[in-house]
Structure 1
């Protein structure tokens, strides 16, 4: 992983490709899928200040501490982004706590719980390269252009999301929406998305435009804030992994193949 650009980690041969019983990927995601792309875009250049040490308030860089305690609009956006980040990165037994004081002098005690555990080791040390990409992909997958929370099924070749999705989840969330990847923690942050062509109408009707893209007045596709929509997943990622219905890896236009990808599916 280099410090600049949206670089993919080198693909490795992994013999451990068996199923993992992690329960329903969708059942854990009834809420918190309405991250504003303004929160991503506004904070992208300073977001890297979170990654250098353990994800605890006392260990944060001064830039991140100041942003979290900012009583203004920028602080609100950053706190929202950190809440989603903690949910993506840490497990349900972990949390992130801090306090801040608003303009009226009221102190707010915040406790953000973990959920998915994509980078659980971040609770004790600096975020590693794979963790940076998986947390970034998770945040992109949970972003909604309209601020609407839509239940999604999140799937990936990478642990702990890697599992053969249960039949009831495959039936309930049968419309694979697309895939997300990138690195918000790089010197030049970037996020990418591709769309699953058969599900584009479903995604747009569900107000999930950050993979399918919003149509502009001329019929073209608009990006979702800083999430660049780079094309069809069928062209960039190959076929869906049959048992889990997820894309194992995708081609980034700038950096080559990466498997640090999160696939989403809708009802």
Structure 2
């Protein structure tokens, strides 16, 4: 059997920076692991506030290629901002780039802080969930895959956790003989939506059988965050819709991912396949 590629994405959250952008070539960071096309995602400590930005217009961000000429004046200003809002905008861009682009591309830019110091930044692409964004607009499938990927990497406590990301869609489609499925057996839930839509939204659901394990790993955005009064809430814009068994197609037995989920639970019965399932050891 031929080996398939898996991408090891090592992106650590923190105060990120960014602007004057272009997509450039970088050295590929690929590792062959069994027959998996899934991805082991490291870091995954994105703050929920980075998904709920007024300054960064995501609806305009998808209209052109991910480069300086394609960014609107509003988005350029957002990622150049030396204040807290700019840090959140750059944090989102770093995660979005690593989700969307392949390891042969990057988003390179610079920005100037309040003291006049110039920061040269390079956000590498790794996962390749929407690689065409390097050269052209982000289509709806790409918007949904990037949204699902970014949402899956949000952590309520901003604690980095290594997890397995899987999907019906390439390049995250896992096969039954994958070592990744053995090493990461506890499917914790799924994420889907569109942060680039005129009215952005993203959903999450949990696997009732593995909630305790998700909480042990401090993955509250996958299990639902428990408030002091016992109420279960999502993470910022991420809406927790309940058990995956109620809103998603049953787990694919071979790849251990949810093939599709109801796009807008409670509003319609239409389903989408751009769903990212996450799993833990």
Q: Of 88, 91, 97, which aligns to 2:102? A: 91
Distance 1:210 1:40 in 2: 13
Over 4 Å off, 4+ runs? 24-28
TM-score w.r.t. structure 1 length?
0.88
Deviates more, 1:46-55 or 1:130-139: 46-55
Bigger RCO (CA 8 Å, 6+ sep)? 1
The answer as to 2:10 corresponding to 1:22 is no
* Structure 2: distance between partners of 1:31 and 1:265: 12
**Residues 121 and 127 of structure 1 are in contact (CA less than 8 Å); yes or no, is this contact kept in structure 2?**
yes
2: CA distance, partners of 1:59 / 1:167: 39
Determine the structure 2 residue equivalent to 1:259: 273
Which structure 1 residue ranges, 5 or more long, are not aligned?
Answer: 1-18
Structure with greater strand share of residues: 2
1:124-139 counterparts in 2 under 5 A? 124-139=135-150
37, 56, 72: which one pairs with 2:67?
A: 56
Secondary structure, counterpart of 1:58 in structure 2: helix
* CA offset digits 1:84-123 (Å, max 9, x no partner): 0000000000001111100000001111100100110001
Q: Secondary structure at the match of 1:231?
A: strand
Deviation at 1:32, TM superposition (A): 2.8
1:112 alignment partner, one of 123, 128, 143:
123
Number of residue pairs aligned between Structure 1 and Structure 2? 249
Distance (Å, rounded) in 1 between the aligned partners of 2:180 and 2:278: 12
Taking the TM superposition and a 5 Å limit, the aligned residue runs for 1:127-166 are 127-164=138-175, 166=177
Structure 2, unaligned stretches of length 5 or more? Answer: 7-32
**Structure 1 residue aligned with 2:227, among 216, 219, 223?**
216
TM-score (norm. length: structure 2): 0.84
Q: 1:30–1:239: structure 2 CA closer, same or farther, 3 Å change rule?
A: closer
Distance verdict in 2 for CA 1:59–1:69, change over 3 Å: same
Picking from 217, 227, 243, the partner of 1:206 is: 217
Q: SS in structure 1 opposite 2:171?
A: coil
Between 247-256 and 143-152, the greater mean CA deviation after superposition: 247-256
Q: 1:128 to 1:261 in 2, by over 3 A?
A: same
Cα gap change, 1:164/1:44 in structure 2, threshold over 3 Å: closer, same or farther? farther
Contact 2:144 2:194 in 1 (8 A): yes
2:86 maps to 75
Deviation at 1:238, TM superposition (A): 2.7
- Any conservation in 2 of the 1:20–1:164 contact (CA below 8 Å)? no
CA RMSD of aligned residues (A): 1.9
Partner of residue 45 from structure 2, selected from 27, 34, 44: 34
